[in-house]
Structure 1
Amino acid sequence: MRVVLKALAATVALAIVTTALTTAWAHGPTRRKVQQQVTINAEPAKVWAAIGNFQDMGWLGPVAKTEGDKGNEIGATRRLTLKTGATIDEELYKYDAEKMSYSYRITAVDVKVLPVTNYSSTITVSPGADGKGSLVEWAGAFYRGYPNNDPPPELNDEAAIAAVTGLYHDGLEGLKAKIENGS
C-alpha cells in the first residue's frame, strides 16, 4: 500500500511540475498599453470639432482617405486608406460627444503596416490645466504583431510599442499644429 501511495504521490508531483513548466513555457505575448497626450491652445469644442467625427480621420498625417458608414453610431465602421495605399479597418464601440471621447478597435490591418493585433484605442478631449486650452489623450492597448513565442524583431513587443507610440506622438503633434495654425 505504501508503495502505491508513494507512486501516486510521485505521479501527482510530476504532473504539477510538468503543468507549471508547460504553462511558463507556453506563455505568449502580454497586452501592451501606450498613452500619449498633447496640450493644444484652443477650446475643447474646437479640438473636438476637428477629431470628434469617427468618419473623418483626415487630421492624422498618414491618412489619405477615410470611408465608412453609420456616422458616430456604435458599430460604425471606417476604412482608413494610408498615403502608402495600405488600409486599416476600424469599428467604433463607444462614443460620447458630451464627454468628447470615443473608443474604437482595429478589425483588419496588415502587421507589416502596424505590427499589432487585438488593438483598441480611446481618444478624449478635455479642458487643459487651469481651464486653458485643451488636453487630448490617445490611449491604446494591443498585442504584438506575432502572437506566438519568439517573434521576429519587426513583430515583437518593442516594435509594436514603438509603432503605436510614434503614431500617437506624430498624430497629436500634427493635430496641435493644424489647430493652432488655423488650418
Structure 2
Amino acid sequence: MNTLRNTIITTALLLGSAAASAAGALSVQREATVDAAPATAWKLVGNFNGLDVWHPAVTASSMKGTGTKAGATRVLTLGNGALIKEKLTAYSATQRSYTYAITESPLPVKNYSSTIKVSPAEGGKSLITWQSTFDASGASDDEAVKTMQGVYDAGLGRLGATLKK
C-alpha cells in the first residue's frame, strides 16, 4: 500500500512540476507553402544559424555550439541593432524540425518556445510550419500575439521568395 501511495505522490509531484514549467499561455502558428522540395527547404530552414539569410528583420546571426545539438545558442542582430538571444532545445533532421527558446529579447514575450518544421506538400513543394507558445511581457496579450504573427509572416514571406524556383 505504501508503494502505491508513494507512486501516486511522485506522479502528482511530477505533474505539478511539469505544469509549473509548461509553455506560455498564448500561441501563434503560421504556415506557408513554398516552391521547393522538403530537402531543399530544410537546407535553408534547418540551419539554426541561418535566419539572417531568409528573415528580413535579421541582419546577422552568430552561434555558439553545434546548430544540430540542444544547448547551442544564437544571437540574432536586428536591423535596428537590437539583439535576440535564443537557445536550441531540440533538433531533428529526420523530422525536419527544431525547437528553440528565447532567452533575451526586446520582443514583448517571455516563456517563449517555438518550433519550425518543414513537411512535404502537394506538387513537390514544402509546407513550412512555425509555431510558438509564450506569455506577453510589457504589452497586452493581443499586442504580443500580433507582434509574433508579424515576425512569422515576414519570415515566411521572404522564405517563399527565396525558395521560388
Which residue does 1:134 correspond to in 2?
126
Q: 1:38 is matched by which residue type in structure 2?
A: A
The residue number in structure 2 matching 1:170 is 154
CA displacement 1:3-60 (0-9 Å, x = unmatched): xxxxxxxxxxxxxxxxxxxxxxxxxxx7100000000111001100011111121211
Counterpart residue number, 1:27 = none
Indicate whether 1:116 and 2:112 are aligned.
Answer: no
Q: Contact 1:55/1:69 (CA < 8 Å) preserved in 2?
A: no
Instruction: Give 5+ residue unaligned stretches, structure 1.
Output: 1-29, 147-154
- Which secondary structure state, in structure 2, belongs to the residue aligned with residue 42 of structure 1? coil
**Is 1:85 paired with 2:81?**
yes
Looking at secondary structure, tell me which structure has more strand per residue.
Answer: 2
Q: Distance in 2 between matches of 1:53 and 1:132?
A: 21
Q: Structure 1: which 4+ aligned runs deviate by more than 2 Å?
A: none
Match of 1:180, SS? coil
Partner of 1:40: 34
User: Structure 1 residue aligned with 2:61, among 58, 63, 66?
Assistant: 66
How many aligned residue pairs are there? 140
Which residue type is aligned with residue 139 of structure 1?
Q
Kindly provide the amino acid, as one letter, of the partner of residue 134 in structure 1. Answer: S
Deviation of 1:71 after TM superposition, in Å, equals 2.2
- Whether the 8 Å contact between 1:117 and 1:145 is mirrored in structure 2 is yes
* C-alpha distance in structure 2 between counterparts of 1:61 and 1:93, whole Å: 24
Max radius of gyration: which structure? 1
Partner of 1:96: 92
Unmatched 5+ stretches in structure 2: 1-23
